[in-house]
């Protein structure tokens, strides 16, 4: 079968429609149409009798005749009503427009299948079906009698005459046109071992399943295949890397590390911090490249770990760099490092988008000459024109979107690829981690620095702002500082949404005696930083902000975190925001403010926040709550691949299964040389060619 046949050769398509399908829906070939799966099916396997109808039924189909037509109502409420019977009762079919067409098309006394949602009207004592779908009962075609597929059609294509029904006709004609078997893309033994549907049956069942069970099995097969190849790619990548890539040896624990450890460290490391540093050091002296993920809850002290590991690199004559997700954070890291390091003979510099012109040029020269030991920055540090003399370690801090492919790019920064450390707070769903970070070894900091008092989290409704402000005043009078966070910068269409500007005005009025900072994402970076700095220095007592402060900002003196419209934040975000306080020895508070009416789910979210400070627990709850849509953003920019059938938020178990399968294959054929696995490796490299990002890591 030739899946690459141009779609214009499919009966019912032609050049004009082929263009539309191609441009608006990405359907260029027969194969593309096979893969254009419906987003739902409606069970049309059953025909109901009218006397069986009840008020809460979804879509049903009836078989019968139109007895007569009638125009009811006047003016804009005028409608065409057809009295319809199946010999067991009467329903009214209702149209609010197109009366002439309806009457011309559907004749009295002919038998029809009527499909739609019945609604009971006490006025008439009968069920109504508004704008039903009607098919001739004698020339039943397509899937009218089975599970009917519903295809999504983009607005532009819909405006030009395509709808789900047209696509249905096309897929139907496609299956007639191509009775041959669609080629298998998994080895037969694998299909059998895991009792999977064949690819051919699965694709056919995705469009026209015999029943709901067949649809489930088809979906499972395709999800598993999709996730399997992703996992196979990741594991092959890391296994090849282990075989081929030598790491820069870092055997020495030298004067930088030791001097810092013994004379500059302001506190004792926690046991967990010591352990993870040892794990990393073991990697770095193994002669292999370190590729490690450091997980640790907010406030667990990852920054310090990063600094110590960077010092190890420096001790071995190498440069190190750390990448933060925002300029503010990069600057904070710089500050932190410089403070910690004090007068140690070490050059630490900042490279972000705001370092420009002569300064940038000079910095780049010094970097290339090896005069800068540690570079702190944003994405700017991996731009092509940034050259290091001898880059030995790259630390990636809190960048959830920095996936496998992006990391692979770092390798070009040195002839022998640098060691890579990725740091993140725990609340990333495991399935996402398995996909984004599936090639990494994992270290966990499961302990907070001593003396931390658990943050007290409370929930206030909107109407308790007076006592809320009182609490803030109390804390500030004790010398503390407070954050107030709003979800948006500008008033959205929802009128109840407080916005930052308005909030700022109110806070200024309520606290005329305090100095108040305001920070949001649309400010110029320099202004934003200056304002953050004022708060960090204690010049201002309250920081009113959007979520720009979400990740990593460190002001230990701040003890109150107020989150306005907390109902609009996800769990992971709430937890990150809360982590901005509780960083000193004082009792800290997080106050979640919400409107009065909350959905059951939001209530649950808020409740979890008030009950636990544990990032692991929150991560788990988060995965359950997150809608698929929520994750998709991360998915698309995060993984290098677009998922067609699987969904990382919902299909955790399938991800795990796919990973186990891939693991087995890699272990069984590590050199990719055994004939029974050949199809897999071919398919993998084909997928790599089809998807650019993919190929960049394979």
Report the nearest approach of ligand ADP to the CB of residue 336 (Å). 7
- In this complex, which beta carbon is closest to Mg ion, that of residue 168 or of residue 550? 550
381/403 Cα distance (integer angstroms): 17
Residue 674 makes CB contacts below 8 A (sequence gap 6+) with: 668
The residue range among 347-355, 551-559, 619-627, 671-679 that interacts with ligand ADP, by the rule CB under 6 A, is 551-559
377/383 Cα distance (integer angstroms): 11
Residue nearest to ligand ADP (CB): 301
Among 101, 267, 359, 644, binds ligand ADP (CB under 6 A): 267
Q: Is 392 in the site for ligand ADP (CB under 6 A)?
A: no
Among 119, 164, 390, 554, binds ligand ADP (CB under 6 A): 554
Strand partners, 127: 91, 120
The residue range among 62-70, 267-275, 375-383, 615-623 that interacts with ligand ADP, by the rule CB under 6 A, is 267-275
Among 128, 231, 233, 303, binds ligand ADP (CB under 6 A): 303
- In this complex, which beta carbon is closest to ligand ADP, that of residue 204 or of residue 302? 302
Report the nearest approach of Mg ion to the CB of residue 160 (Å). 50
Q: Is 299 in the site for ligand ADP (CB under 6 A)?
A: yes
Ramachandran class of 57: left when φ > 0, alpha when ψ lies in -120 to 50, beta otherwise = beta
- In this complex, which beta carbon is closest to Mg ion, that of residue 551 or of residue 680? 551
Report the nearest approach of ligand ADP to the CB of residue 304 (Å). 5
For the CA atoms of 23, 28, 31, 34, the dihedral, rounded to the nearest 10 degrees, stands at 40
Which residue reads 């067409």 in tokens? 101
DSSP 3-state percent helix, strand, coil across the chain (nearest 5): 45, 20, 35
The residue range among 145-153, 293-301, 667-675, 676-684 that interacts with ligand ADP, by the rule CB under 6 A, is 293-301
- In this complex, which beta carbon is closest to ligand ADP, that of residue 545 or of residue 645? 545
- In this complex, which beta carbon is closest to Mg ion, that of residue 438 or of residue 552? 552
Residues 572-631 that bind ligand ADP (CB under 6 A): 583
State the binding partner of 21 from Mg ion, ligand ADP, none, CB within 5 to 8 A by kind: none
CA end-to-end distance (rounded Å), the chain: 29
CA angle at 497 for the pair 495 and 503, rounded to the nearest 5°? 120
196/188 Cα distance (integer angstroms): 10
Report the nearest approach of ligand ADP to the CB of residue 337 (Å). 11
State the binding partner of 407 from Mg ion, ligand ADP, none, CB within 5 to 8 A by kind: none
Q: Is 556 in the site for ligand ADP (CB under 6 A)?
A: yes
Residue 524 makes CB contacts below 8 A (sequence gap 6+) with: none
The residue range among 123-131, 266-274, 588-596, 602-610 that interacts with ligand ADP, by the rule CB under 6 A, is 266-274
Q: Is 296 in the site for ligand ADP (CB under 6 A)?
A: yes
Q: Is 427 in the site for ligand ADP (CB under 6 A)?
A: no
422/324 Cα distance (integer angstroms): 11
Report the nearest approach of Mg ion to the CB of residue 554 (Å). 7
Report the nearest approach of ligand ADP to the CB of residue 458 (Å). 22
Burial (CB count <10 Å: 0-12, 13-18, 19+), residue 619: buried
State the binding partner of 615 from ligand ADP, Mg ion, none, CB within 5 to 8 A by kind: none
Residue 205 makes CB contacts below 8 A (sequence gap 6+) with: 197, 214, 215, 217, 218
CA neighbor of 434 nearest in space, from 642, 645, 230? 230
- In this complex, which beta carbon is closest to ligand ADP, that of residue 269 or of residue 508? 269
Report the nearest approach of ligand ADP to the CB of residue 555 (Å). 9
* Paired tokens of 569: 């934040």
- In this complex, which beta carbon is closest to Mg ion, that of residue 18 or of residue 581? 581
CA neighbor of 34 nearest in space, from 200, 218, 224? 200
Q: Is 298 in the site for ligand ADP (CB under 6 A)?
A: yes
Report the nearest approach of ligand ADP to the CB of residue 561 (Å). 14
- In this complex, which beta carbon is closest to ligand ADP, that of residue 179 or of residue 266? 266
State the binding partner of 270 from ligand ADP, Mg ion, none, CB within 5 to 8 A by kind: ligand ADP
Q: Is 670 in the site for ligand ADP (CB under 6 A)?
A: no
Q: Is 269 in the site for ligand ADP (CB under 6 A)?
A: yes
Strand partners, 133: 115
Q: Is 652 in the site for ligand ADP (CB under 6 A)?
A: no
Residue 461 makes CB contacts below 8 A (sequence gap 6+) with: 593, 594, 595, 596
CA neighbor of 434 nearest in space, from 615, 638, 296, 682? 638
- In this complex, which beta carbon is closest to ligand ADP, that of residue 86 or of residue 331? 331
Report the nearest approach of Mg ion to the CB of residue 326 (Å). 12
Residues at the contact surface with Mg ion, assessed by CB under 5 A: 552
Q: Is 270 in the site for ligand ADP (CB under 6 A)?
A: yes
CA neighbor of 219 nearest in space, from 346, 86, 41, 347? 41
Q: Is 426 in the site for ligand ADP (CB under 6 A)?
A: no
- In this complex, which beta carbon is closest to ligand ADP, that of residue 304 or of residue 560? 304
Measuring CA to CA, how many Å separate 403 from each of 53, 145, 440, 540?
Answer: 53, 46, 11, 38
447 contacts 274 by C-beta, under 8 angstroms: no
Q: Is 300 in the site for ligand ADP (CB under 6 A)?
A: yes
Q: Count the residues of the shown chain that bind ligand ADP, applying the rule CB under 6 A.
A: 18
| Orientation angle between helical segments 199-207 and 212-244, nearest 10 degrees | 130
Helices (H), 550-643: 571-578, 600-611, 615-625, 628-638
State the binding partner of 31 from Mg ion, ligand ADP, none, CB within 5 to 8 A by kind: none
Report the nearest approach of Mg ion to the CB of residue 555 (Å). 13
Among 31, 132, 247, 301, binds ligand ADP (CB under 6 A): 301
Residue 563 makes CB contacts below 8 A (sequence gap 6+) with: 485, 569, 574, 577, 578, 590, 591, 592, 593
Instruction: Give the binding site for ligand ADP (CB under 6 A).
Output: 267, 269-270, 273, 296, 298-304, 425, 449, 552, 554, 556, 583
């Amino acid at each position: 079968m030739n899946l690459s046949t141009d779609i214009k050769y499919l009966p019912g398509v032609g050049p004009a429609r082929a263009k539309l399908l191609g441009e608006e829906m990405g359907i260029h070939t027969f194969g593309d149409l096979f893969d254009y799966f419906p987003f739902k099916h409606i069970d049309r396997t059953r025909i109901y009798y009218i006397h069986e109808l009840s008020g809460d039924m979804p879509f049903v189909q009836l078989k019968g005749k139109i007895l007569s037509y009638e125009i009811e109502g006047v003016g804009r409420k005028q409608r065409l009503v057809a009295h319809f019977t199946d010999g067991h009762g009467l329903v009214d079919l209702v149209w609010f427009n197109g009366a002439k067409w309806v009457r011309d098309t559907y004749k009295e006394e002919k038998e029809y299948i009527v499909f739609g949602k019945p609604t009971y009207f006490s006025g008439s004592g009968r069920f109504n079906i508004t704008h039903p779908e009607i098919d001739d009962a004698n020339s039943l075609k397509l899937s009218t009698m089975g599970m009917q597929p519903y295809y999504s059609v983009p607005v532009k294509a819909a405006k030009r005459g395509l709808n789900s029904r047209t696509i249905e006709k096309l897929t139907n004609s496609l299956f007639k046109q191509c009775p041959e078997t669609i080629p298998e893309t998994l080895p037969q033994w694998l299909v059998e071992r895991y009792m999977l549907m064949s690819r051919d049956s699965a694709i056919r069942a995705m469009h026209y399943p015999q029943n709901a069970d067949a649809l489930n099995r088809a979906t499972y097969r395709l999800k598993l295949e999709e996730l399997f190849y992703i996992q196979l790619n990741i594991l092959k990548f890391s296994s090849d890397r282990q075989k081929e890539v030598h790491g820069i040896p870092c055997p020495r624990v030298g004067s930088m590390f030791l001097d810092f450890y013994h004379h500059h460290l302001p506190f004792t490391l926690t046991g967990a911090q010591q352990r993870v540093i040892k794990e990393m050091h073991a990697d770095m002296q193994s002669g292999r490249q370190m590729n490690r993920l450091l997980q640790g809850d907010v406030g667990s002290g990852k920054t310090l770990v990063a600094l110590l590991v960077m010092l190890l690199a420096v001790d071995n004559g190498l440069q190190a760099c750390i990448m933060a997700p925002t300029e503010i954070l990069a600057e904070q890291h710089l500050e932190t490092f410089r403070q910690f390091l004090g007068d140690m003979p070490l050059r630490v510099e900042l490279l972000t988008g705001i370092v420009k012109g002569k300064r940038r040029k000079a910095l780049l020269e010094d970097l290339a000459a090896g005069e800068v030991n540690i570079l702190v920055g944003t994405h700017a540090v991996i731009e092509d024109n940034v050259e290091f003399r001898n880059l030995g370690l790259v630390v990636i801090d809190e960048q959830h979107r920095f996936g496998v492919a992006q990391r692979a790019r770092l390798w070009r920064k040195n002839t022998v690829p640098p060691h890579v450390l990725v740091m993140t707070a725990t609340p990333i769903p495991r399935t996402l981690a398995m996909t984004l970070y599936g090639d990494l070894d994992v270290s966990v900091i499961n302990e907070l620095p001593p003396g931390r008092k658990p943050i007290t989290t409370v929930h206030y409704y909107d109407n308790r702002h007076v006592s809320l402000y009182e609490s803030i005043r109390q804390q500030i009078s004790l010398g503390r500082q407070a954050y107030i966070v709003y979800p948006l910068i500008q008033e959205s269409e929802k009128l109840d949404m407080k916005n930052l500007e308005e909030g700022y005005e109110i806070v200024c009025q309520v606290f005329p005696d305090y100095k108040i900072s305001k920070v949001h994402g649309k400010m110029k970076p320099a202004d934003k930083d200056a304002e953050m700095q004022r708060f960090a220095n204690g010049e201002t007592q309250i920081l009113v902000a959007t979520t720009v402060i979400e990740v990593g900002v460190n002001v230990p003196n701040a003890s109150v975190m107020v989150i306005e419209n907390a109902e609009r934040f996800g769990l992971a975000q709430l937890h990150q925001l809360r982590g901005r306080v509780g960083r000193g020895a004082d009792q800290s508070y997080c106050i979640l403010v919400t409107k009065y009416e909350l959905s059951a789910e939001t209530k649950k979210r808020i409740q979890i926040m008030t009950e636990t400070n544990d990032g692991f627990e929150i991560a788990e709850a988060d995965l359950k709550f997150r809608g698929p849509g929520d994750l998709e953003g991360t998915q698309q920019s995060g993984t290098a691949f677009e998922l067609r059938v699987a969904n990382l938020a919902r299909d955790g178990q399938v991800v795990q299964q796919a990973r186990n399968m891939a693991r087995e294959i890699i272990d069984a054929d590590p050199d990719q040389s055994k004939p029974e696995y050949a199809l897999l490796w071919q398919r993998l490299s084909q997928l790599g060619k089809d998807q650019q990002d993919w190929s960049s890591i394979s």
